[in-house]
Each structure stands twice: as structure tokens, then as C-alpha cells.
């Protein structure tokens, strides 16, 4: 049974001060299985490893109701809570759901299956996609970067993540279908920017599960550079079986296989993202 804390009838609109400092990166693609969750977990872990010595922290927020394959079950499987949905309904605090992760400097807000009902429960409320943004705004100023892992399909949860984000990192599976998976996403990003969040920026397009020895890979890389210029990420995440194994051990790639090429790739990705966000070191 969920305990509901009584709230005043009119809660004050939270100040957006903490959002000035916290970069919020939504990891998206309209498709599943492209490496979004893998990127969310290991980019968050890589950034936390870099930032923790400077006394800064990273927050990973899991917006995927399919928790078995989600970022939060990848790391230490903290129990998610239906209070996430209650927080969206303004009957609870997202802050109560923050739990430490095994990675120093990284905190988690785990997803929960009940998130799948959020859209239905909030249907009819004006601007309901701003509910998650409001929850994020009400968090204390404790994290330098937040990473949002999103569900594979377009819908309320993805739009909510984009409404609350400052940046979008699009993950594509390297290969013949790579650019095809971007069709539609540019329109979604444009509409979110126009209607919900004018500050939203395309941070980057990242190739994942790449086989860098193939001609196809080089062709995709050239096309991305042509189409996205500086937003085509320099880092590429290569295919590595260690990334298939790590979630079963509930460990990020730096803990599970520190000398793997996947760990090297995510180290490089964290460095590239930190540099572009001007996070120092």
C-alpha cells in the first residue's frame, strides 16, 4: 500500500535554480535494442568517476517501466517504487526515491512498472508532460549532471524526459538501418522544443554496437558527420560481448571489465561529454 503524504491544495511552483547548474541529458531513440540503456548506465558511471574526485555527483533517472531491462536493474537492482508515479501525480516527492548506487558519485532514481500508467492517469491535465520536469526542478541542487534513460517507444514518458532535459543524446545502432532509426525523431525533438521546452538542444548522435572494421561503419560515420557536423560524436561504442555480460553481474562496465574495449570506449565518451559540457578535469 502506498502511503500518501498530504499536500497543500496549491503547491508553489518550484524555482528552476537547480536547473541552471544541472545538465540533464536524455538518452533517446524511437527504437529499442539500440544501446540506450547501456549508454545511460555506463556514461553515467563514467561521468561519476570523473566528477566524484571534484566533489560533484551524477544522477541516473530511469524512466523505463520495463524494469527487467532497465538502467536501474542493471546497477544493483534497487527496488523501484510506485512512489515515482505518485511523485508525477504530485502526491509524493521524487527526492525520496533517490538511492545510492554501487558506483561512487552516482545516485539512482529507479524506474517502476507503474510508470506505464502515468500517461493515462495524467490524461486530461493541461501540459501533463511538464509533470516530470516539475519533479526534477524540485530536487535539491546536488547533482552536476542528470542522465535520463527513456523507454523504447515514442510516448508520454519519452516526451516528459525531453521536456525536462537540457540536452538530447541520440543513440543509433551502427549499420545499414542506423539513419532510418532517426526518421521521426528530429520531428519529435522539434515539436518538444516548440511546445514544451525551448531550451532543448541536440547534444549528439552516438554510434553504438559498431564494428569499426567494416566499410558500412565508415559510410555511416561519414553520413553522420555530413548531416550532424559537430553533433556527430567523435566517440563510437564498439560491439563488445562484455556489454552483454555486465548487466547480469549488476555492474557497470568499469567495474565488470575495466580493461575491456567497452570500458575504453565509455571512458572516452565520458571524457568527450565532460569536455563538451565544460565540466573540467
Ligand X SMILES: Nc1ncnc2c1ncn2[C@@H]1O[C@H](COP(=O)(O)OP(=O)(O)O)[C@@H](O)[C@H]1O
DSSP annotation of 117: G
CA–centroid distance for 35 within its chain: 11
Of 161, 57, 168, 68, the closest CA to residue 118 belongs to 161
What is the smallest separation between the CB atom of 243 and Mg ion, expressed in angstroms? 13
Give the nearer residue to ligand X in terms of CB position, either 34 or 145: 34
- 37 is a contact residue toward Mg ion (CB under 5 A): yes
From 122, 147, 172, 243, residue interacting with ligand X (rule: CB under 6 A): 243
Q: Looking at beta carbons only, is 50 or 74 nearer to Mg ion?
A: 74
CA–CA gap between residue 260 and residue 27 (Å, rounded) = 23
- Of 36 and 209, nearer to Mg ion (C-beta) is 36
Q: Give the residue with the Cβ less far from Mg ion, 37 or 251.
A: 37
Closest approach, Cβ 70 to Mg ion, in A, equals 6
Helix orientation angle between 130-137 and 156-164, rounded to the nearest 10 degrees: 40
Tell me the C-alpha distance between 147 and 193, whole Å: 19
* Of residues 150-179, those binding ligand X (CB under 6 A): 152
Least spacing, CB of residue 69 vs Mg ion, in Å: 6
32 binds ligand X (CB under 6 A): yes
* From candidates 38, 101, 128, 197, binder to ligand X by CB under 6 A: 38
Q: How far apart are CB 257 and ligand X at their closest, in Å?
A: 12
Nearest Cα residue to 30 out of 167, 192, 155: 155
Query: Residue 76 has what DSSP assignment?
Result: T
Options 5, 33, 79, 191; binder of ligand X; rule CB under 6 A = 33
- Rounded distance between C-alpha atoms, residue 58 and residue 53, angstroms: 12
Q: Which is nearer to ligand X, 128 or 208 (CB)?
A: 208
- Residue 62 CB, nearest distance to Mg ion (Å)? 9
Residue choice 22, 25, 34, 270 for contact with ligand X (CB under 6 A): 34
- Length of the chain as a residue count: 281
46 binds ligand X (CB under 6 A): no
- The alpha carbon torsion through 176, 179, 184, 186 (nearest 10 deg) reads 170
Number of residues interacting with ligand X: please give it, by CB under 6 A.
16
b/e per residue 104-131 (b: at least 16 CB within 10 A): ebbbbbbbbebbbebbeebeeeeebbbb
Task: Write the burial class of residue 53 (CB in 10 Å: 0-12 exposed, 13-18 middle, 19+ buried).
Answer: exposed
Per CB under 5 A, 38 contacts Mg ion: no
Instruction: Give least dist CB 175 to ligand X, A.
Output: 12
Interface with Mg ion by CB under 5 A: which residues?
36-37
Interface positions with ligand X (CB under 6 A) = 32-38, 69, 152, 208-209, 237, 239-240, 243-244
Amino acid at each position: 500500500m502506498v502511503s500518501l503524504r498530504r499536500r497543500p491544495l496549491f503547491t508553489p511552483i518550484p524555482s528552476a535554480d537547480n536547473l541552471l547548474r544541472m545538465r540533464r541529458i536524455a538518452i533517446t531513440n524511437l527504437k529499442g535494442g539500440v544501446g540506450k540503456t547501456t549508454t545511460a548506465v555506463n556514461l553515467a558511471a563514467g561521468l561519476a568517476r570523473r566528477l566524484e574526485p571534484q566533489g560533484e555527483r551524477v544522477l541516473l533517472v530511469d524512466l523505463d517501466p520495463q524494469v527487467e531491462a532497465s538502467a536501474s536493474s542493471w546497477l544493483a537492482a534497487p527496488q523501484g517504487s510506485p512512489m515515482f508515479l505518485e511523485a508525477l501525480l504530485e502526491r509524493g516527492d521524487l527526492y525520496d526515491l533517490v538511492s545510492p548506487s554501487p558506483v561512487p558519485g552516482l545516485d539512482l532514481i529507479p524506474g517502476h512498472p507503474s510508470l506505464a500508467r502515468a500517461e493515462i492517469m495524467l490524461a486530461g491535465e493541461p501540459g501533463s508532460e511538464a509533470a516530470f520536469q516539475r519533479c526534477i526542478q524540485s530536487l535539491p541542487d546536488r547533482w552536476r549532471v542528470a542522465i535520463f534513460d527513456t523507454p523504447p517507444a515514442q510516448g508520454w514518458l519519452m516526451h516528459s524526459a525531453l521536456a525536462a532535459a537540457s540536452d538530447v543524446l541520440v543513440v543509433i545502432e551502427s549499420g545499414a538501418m542506423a539513419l532510418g532509426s532517426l526518421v521521426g525523431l528530429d520531428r519529435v525533438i522539434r515539436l518538444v522544443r516548440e511546445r514544451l521546452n525551448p531550451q532543448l538542444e541536440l547534444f549528439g548522435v552516438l554510434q553504438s554496437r559498431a564494428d569499426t572494421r567494416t566499410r558500412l561503419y565508415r559510410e555511416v560515420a561519414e553520413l553522420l558527420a555530413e548531416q550532424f557536423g559537430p553533433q556527430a560524436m567523435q566517440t563510437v561504442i564498439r560491439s563488445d560481448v562484455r556489454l552483454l555480460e555486465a548487466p547480469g553481474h549488476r555492474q557497470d562496465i568499469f567495474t565488470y571489465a575495466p580493461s575491456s574495449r567497452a570500458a575504453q570506449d565509455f571512458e572516452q565518451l565520458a571524457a568527450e561529454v565532460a569536455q563538451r559540457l565544460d565540466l573540467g578535469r
